[in-house]
Amino acid sequence: MKKKIFILALMISFILPAYADTVFFNEPVAKEIEKSDAKKIIKNLESTVSSKLNSVSYKDVSKAKLKKFGKCASKPECWAKKAEGEDFQYVLLSLIKMNEDEEITLRLVVISIEDEEVIDDETKTYDDVESADEKAIFAQIKKLSAYNDIKGGKQSKNDKEVDKRTKKMEEERKKRERELERQREEEERLEKERKKRERIEEERARREEEEEIRRLEKERARRENEKKKEQASKKKSLKDNAKKLERARELVLEMCSQGKYNEAIKAIVKVSDTKCECEEDAKVLALKTQLLNFNKVREQIIRGVEAKNSSLILDNIEAAKALDESIVEGGTEFSQKVDKYAATGWLARGREMEKANKYVEANEAYEKCAEVDPDKAECTDWLNSKDKLVKAVYDKASVMKNFNPTKAKELLRAILKIVTAENEYYKKAEQDLQQLEY
């Protein structure tokens, strides 16, 4: 048995580069990711490191050493001390996380034990779990500055097969590149022909346009004589229309000031087809546009108030106020109620955030509500009784500390943001947070 081990060691010494250094592959750390997804990525990472690098895996060392190494985290000086005398010159640390968009972040940190420093800190984001395959992870590892010192890995029949497949894939890639080049040349040729046809067509269109211009000029001269005959009677009609539009616009503005928006819109739409070919046309058109836009956002706000939908109210309130004040100087009766509408929107937002356990956002919404409408009792009552909420949040965080510390820290941070340092739960939350983050 000893003889077989010796022969195996001798074979490995011929296979591996004599000059290659060795890296200790520490156990990967996975955060905020499903266990099954983390296992897939860790498997790909372990396989890549094993096959591509001269490495010692955390699985190959004793539990006592793992416990000793585990105290070092990413501290180079600690590794230099704890790994003294070990058969590796580098340490490879890895962190796997998933964000809200289910994108995967893989962070690789390489520590040089001899230099006692972090020499690589490479982070790459993958679209999903499946994207973090061995090929993609290997591409990330190759970017490490220490890669050339520790590349190599254990050669096996499987590795040789992989090399063959890699070579074949490279040949296929080059073949595809040549085909793409031929396609590109063909596309360039077709593009030149297309541009040539376009130039010919443009020249033909230009000649036709010049002929049309000459024809139109003759037609214009003929019609000019006819227009002169019509202008006298039309001038009087346009003058009458101008006075009619001015009176109609003043009437519509008066309706707006009285809050009769629907009547105002009907009136301005009815008269908007009347033209005077003067400044009053633009004024009527502008007023019609403003009224239609204002009524649209006003209806959204009213619908939001009825449905207690904060987005419908708050997303439209500023636009509605600006349009209202642009229609009537100082605004109509709507502007007098805008703070009431806004307060209702912030109240609804506060309740939505509170229901979703987003207490910081809820607190901000209730404060905004009380700011714009101090008479809004629901908001002031909530702010005045905030201590009860803070206690409930603290109790919830206390329960979650043991089985969901991440959520517990989130709740504790929320307490620090919604109460002042004088509050008893602020101090408790601060202490608990320090313990959790220690």
Condensed to tens digits (0 to 9), the pLDDT of residues 411-431 reads 889 989 998 888 888 988 889
pLDDT at 282 over 70: yes
Q: Is the pLDDT reported for residue 261 higher than 80?
A: no
- Give the pLDDT mean for 84-100: 91
Reported as a single tens digit per residue, the pLDDT across 58-69 is: 988 888 888 888
Report, as an integer, the average pLDDT of 403-408: 90
Pick the CATH number of 2-155 from 3.90.1150.10, 3.40.50.300, 3.40.50.40, 3.40.50.10070: 3.40.50.10070
What confidence tier does 241 reach under pLDDT thresholds 50, 70, 90? confident
Q: Does the pLDDT of residue 6 top 60, yes or no?
A: no
> Are the C-beta atoms of residues 419 and 426 closer than 8 Å to each other?
yes
pLDDT tens per residue, range 118-168: 999 999 999 998 999 999 999 989 989 888 888 864 444 455 465 567 778
What span, in angstroms and rounded, lies between the C-alpha atoms of 49 and 59? 13
Which residues of the chain does CATH 3.40.50.10070 include?
A: 2-155
- 76: which 2 tokens? 């180079």
Angle formed at CA 161 by CA 155 and CA 127, multiple of 5 degrees: 95
Q: CA-to-CA distance for 154 and 175, rounded, in angstroms?
A: 31
The CA distance from 414 to 363, in Å, is: 10
State pLDDT tens for residues 319-336.
888 887 777 776 777 777
CA proximity to 107, closest of 130, 74, 80:
74
Distance (Å, rounded) from C-alpha 404 to C-alpha 401? 6
Q: What is the mean pLDDT of residues 66-87?
A: 88
Mean pLDDT of the chain: 84
Q: What average pLDDT does range 237-260 have in this prediction?
A: 78
The total number of residues shown for the chain amounts to: 438
pLDDT of residue 17: 42
12 pLDDT above the threshold of 70: no
Mean pLDDT throughout 428-438? 86
